[in-house]
């Protein structure tokens, strides 16, 4: 896994996103890159904004590509406030923007763009794992 720890994460969203998007594991496919970038942006922004009081904390971000199954894995790990974004109810996208509750749209989009998203709390860390089949 190609990974890097960012500490502190305050004001580093763009740097973290660019690190992940420039990984050699990310395929050279514009449509796929759009979906990956959107999912990465939403997940990273959630950690940077909400995991730590004042953004003073760390985030470890990484990618790996299984050469046999061609499944890309993106993992974010932090020691912030325990939070499972997957427990949040999906927004009712049939309602107008004015009628919908605020929040939740980013994770909803991640769920739609990625093949799987898993959350676990392990050893005092939030671990968010997103996967996407990249070819085949």
Residue 26 corresponds to which tokens in the numbers above?
Answer: 């990310």
CA–CA separation, 98 and 7 (whole Å):
37
Task: Give 31-54 pLDDT, tens digit per residue.
Answer: 999 999 999 999 999 899 889 988
Which residue reads 């898993």 in tokens?
118
What is the chain's mean pLDDT, rounded? 89
- The token pair at 114 is 């990625």
Q: How far apart are CA 45 and CA 61, in angstroms?
A: 12
Examine residue 8 and say whether the peptide bond preceding it is cis (omega within 30 degrees of 0). yes
CATH of domain 2-133: 3.30.565.10
* pLDDT (tens digit per residue) in 108-134: 888 999 999 999 999 999 999 999 999
- The residue extents of the domains of the chain are 2-133
Separation CA 93–CA 57 (nearest Å): 34
pLDDT at 90: 61
Q: What is the pTM of this model?
A: 0.88
């Amino acid at each position: 896994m190609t990974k890097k720890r960012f500490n502190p994460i305050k004001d580093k969203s763009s740097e973290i996103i660019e690190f992940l998007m420039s990984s050699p594991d990310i395929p050279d496919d514009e449509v796929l890159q759009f979906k990956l970038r959107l999912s990465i942006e939403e997940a990273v922004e959630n950690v940077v904004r909400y995991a730590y009081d004042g953004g003073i904390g760390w985030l470890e971000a990484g990618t790996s590509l299984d050469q046999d199954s061609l499944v890309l894995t993106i993992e974010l790990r932090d020691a912030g406030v325990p939070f499972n974004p997957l427990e949040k109810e999906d927004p009712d996208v049939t309602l107008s923007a004015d009628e919908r509750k605020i929040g939740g749209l980013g994770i909803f989009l991640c769920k739609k763009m990625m093949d799987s998203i898993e959350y676990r709390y392990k050893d005092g860390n939030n671990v968010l794992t997103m996967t996407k089949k990249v070819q085949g």
